[in-house]
Each structure stands twice: as C-alpha cells, then as structure tokens.
Amino acid sequence: MNENNWFDTARFGMFIHWGVYALTARGEWTESIEKMTIEEYEKYVKFFNPDLFDPKGWAAVAKAAGMKYLIITSKHHDGFCLWDTKYTDYNSVNAPRCRRDLLREIVDAFRKAGLNIGIYYSLADWHHPDYEIDDRHPLRDKPAPRNWQGYIEFLQNQVQELLTNYGKVDIIWFDGGYPDHNWEAEKLDAMIRSLQPDILINRLPGFSDFHSPEQTIPSQGIRDEAGNLLPWEGCQVLSGGCWGYSRDNQWKTPEEVVQMLVRHTSRGGNLLLNVGPTSRGSLDNHSGAILREIAEWMRWNSRSIHGCTVAPAEFPEPEDCRYTWNPETRCLYLHFFVWPDRRIFLPKLADKVEYAQLLCDGSEIMMTEHTPGNVHGAKVPEGSLMLSLPVARPDTLEPVIEIFMK
C-alpha cells in the first residue's frame, strides 16, 4: 500500500457509473445482455444529450454527504469514452449532441470541492475492433479473429493519456480484468507508477494496492494470513442490481445506507457508494433524496466515521450494535442498529470511560460501573459499564454514542 494514508481514513466515497448506457435505463450491461451489434448500440451515442449535466452539483452532493473521494467511469465495457481521447472517435467530444469533455468537467469540479480523484477504466472494450470476442462480448455468437496486441497497445496509450492530461489522480480503478486474458499487467503497472508515483491501483491483476469486494461486506474485514487488517473498500449499489441508471429499481433506505457505512468502517474498510446519473446528466430524485438524508446524518455523526476503524479486540460489541474507533482521539463510537430499552451494558468497559454523549445532540449519557444488573434479569458480565438511555429512540437515522476513553 502506498505511504499516502488518505485512503485509510476516508471511509466514504462516491462511485459514478455514467455513459451512453444511461439512455437504455436498463443498466450498463445492456449491450451484452441483449447481444446488440455496434450499429444497434450506436443510437445511444447519437442521442446522448446531457443537457442537465451539473458536475459541480454532483460534487456538492458528495461533499455534503461526507464523501472524501470520487471514482468516475471514464470508459465502461461498452468502450464509450467520456474524455477527449485521441485514440478513438468513440467519445463524448465526438457524440453529436454532447460535444464536451465530460471527464475534465467532472474531475475539475470534484477536485475543487476538495475530494480525492479516482478514474475507473474498463480493461474490457466491446467496441474496439481488436478486443477479443469472449463469452461476455455482445458478439459472442459471431466469433471472429482479433489482433490482441493491437488492443493492448490501445489500452496502454489510453491509460497513459488519462494519467498525463488530468492532473493528479489518486486512484486508477480497473474493471473487467478477466483472468483468461493477458493484460501485460506488469508493464502497465510500471508505466502507471512512473507517471503518478503516489497513485493507488485497484483491480489490475496481480498489482492491486487494496481489495474491493463488490456488493458484499466481509464480516471481519479483509486480513492477511497473520490476521493483520489489509486496506479494502466495498463497492455497493444504491438500488437494485444495476450500476448504471435504471428506471425499475428497488432502492435502499437511508437507514440501510448508514448501516452499510458503519459496517464497512467498523471492519476497517471504506464504502464506495454508487450512483447512476440519468442520460441528461442529473441525479435522479431517489438518489438525491437518499444522499440528502445521509448528509444530515453525517453533519452530526461524521466523526464516528472519518478517521475511524476497527475497535480494539478487548472491547467486544454489544448485541445489535457496532463499534467504530478513532485511534488518534481515543474515542469509541457505539452505533445502534436496534434501540435498547432504557439501558445497555458494555462488556469490559468499567473503569475505562471518562465521559459519554449522544452525537445527535451532544447530550450526556449517564454511566454506572460494575452494576450487577436487574435482580430479575440476566446476569451482567463482570466489568461491564451500564449506559442509561432515553426511553424514546433519538430522531436520527442511526443513534451514535461517543465514548471518551480514559
């Protein structure tokens, strides 16, 4: 892992899947699933008109929600590029109703808002004439010989272009790196690090700086054989199973998103939360509403997320709760997935806590040490700390108690 540790404290990022596939409103794999020809898919390039495109608005939403970095799809598997690349005409500058370097505007807006910049680049490319027709290719039923080395040269040129023309890039995020293809990854890795020495590389086979499980949250984080925590990020959708815009989605609730964020942070990982803007360049109403609620929660509770990680092993988590821990401030944060009835017992915390308060309003939480518990209740483990809680659940997406350790 690079010495730059911003990634290990960020904890929350915005993933944006956007391209001409947004016109289908059926997701980013539509071309492959429906086995479209290049000619059939061309209508989406022709009618791509992001007239409501507002990258500054996207950046403002991300920043308000407490997101610290961006990953933007410069090119997905369909091969359509969002930047002014000189290696193919299949890009947003040449799209007749667009005529803009969309990547440049997005990167500039998010960088100005203070977020770290990550660029997603698909190793797979269904549009390029030299890309192998594999079993995921839209033309898989029409095999034809291809010049693989010609495609590798194209890939390397585009990556060099992205890492040369768009300022400091903090992450290069690859996808579609199927193990049955020779990507010349060692050569690509060397070129990337020569151009951007501080960059983090993800999903380049054999050369990734961190792990990125997709639509799953490892129960204990990701660790090496010795049990040491490794850098990781879980990439998650906000709705349904599509990453690109889809009309027919089942949306996560704001409560579910906050719990996802806590589950990642409490196991030492980042949450990379995806949004799929519409073809007109706006965030849909569902995504916007959810992110506004997350922003309000983060306004009060962000210090239980940013800079936090797994709590020390000697502090076992109470039932239906998660701990996050800030090693710099020595604050332990108790996140409630279920609100208890008037009290909660924290194992092994007696004599270790100086003060406790609700984060949503900064009000004191009274503590009792070495309590035997209710005479008619279950036995309380020795060394527990009892917190006295309000009867009514605090009016917030997820209540958090900030615990100042001695």
What does the mean pLDDT of the chain come to? Answer: 95
* Radius of gyration for the chain, computed over Cα atoms and rounded to the nearest angstrom: 24
**Domain 321-405 carries which CATH code?**
2.60.40.1180
Q: What is the pLDDT of residues 65-90, one digit of tens each?
A: 999 999 999 999 999 999 999 999 99
206 within 8 A of 186, measured Cβ to Cβ: yes
Q: Give the neighbor-by-neighbor strand order of the sheet with 321-326.
A: 321-326, 331-336, 400-405, 353-358
User: What average pLDDT does this structure show over 92-100?
Assistant: 98
pLDDT at 338: 97
pLDDT at 249: 80
Asked if residue 4 has pLDDT above 60, the reply is yes
User: What average pLDDT does this structure show over 205-220?
Assistant: 96
- Nearest one of 115, 136, 127, 135 to 155, comparing CA atoms: 127
pLDDT at 375: 60
Tell me which residue has tokens 């997905």: 76
pLDDT at 372: 66
pLDDT at 302: 98
In this prediction, what percent of the chain has a pLDDT beyond 70?
Answer: 97
Asked if residue 184 has pLDDT above 60, the reply is yes
Q: What is the pLDDT of residues 311-330, one digit of tens each?
A: 999 999 999 999 999 999 99
pLDDT at 376: 65
Asked if residue 370 has pLDDT above 90, the reply is no
pLDDT at 381: 79
359 within 8 A of 331, measured Cβ to Cβ: no
Asked if residue 373 has pLDDT above 70, the reply is no
In this prediction, what percent of the chain has a pLDDT beyond 90?
Answer: 92
**Quick one: fold of 6-304?**
TIM Barrel (3.20.20)
Q: Please list the residue range(s) of the chain that carry CATH number 3.20.20.80.
A: 6-304
pLDDT at 349: 96
Q: Please list the residue range(s) of the chain that carry CATH number 2.60.40.1180.
A: 321-405
Lowest mean pLDDT among 94-103, 246-255, 375-384: 375-384
- Say which residue, 371 or 342, is predicted with more confidence: 342
Q: What is the pLDDT of residues 116-160, one digit of tens each?
A: 999 999 999 999 999 999 999 999 999 999 999 999 999 999 999
pLDDT category of residue 2 using cuts at 50, 70 and 90:
very low
Asked if residue 43 has pLDDT above 70, the reply is yes
pLDDT at 179: 78
Distance in angstroms (rounded) separating the CA atoms of residues 26 and 249: 10
210 within 8 A of 1, measured Cβ to Cβ: yes
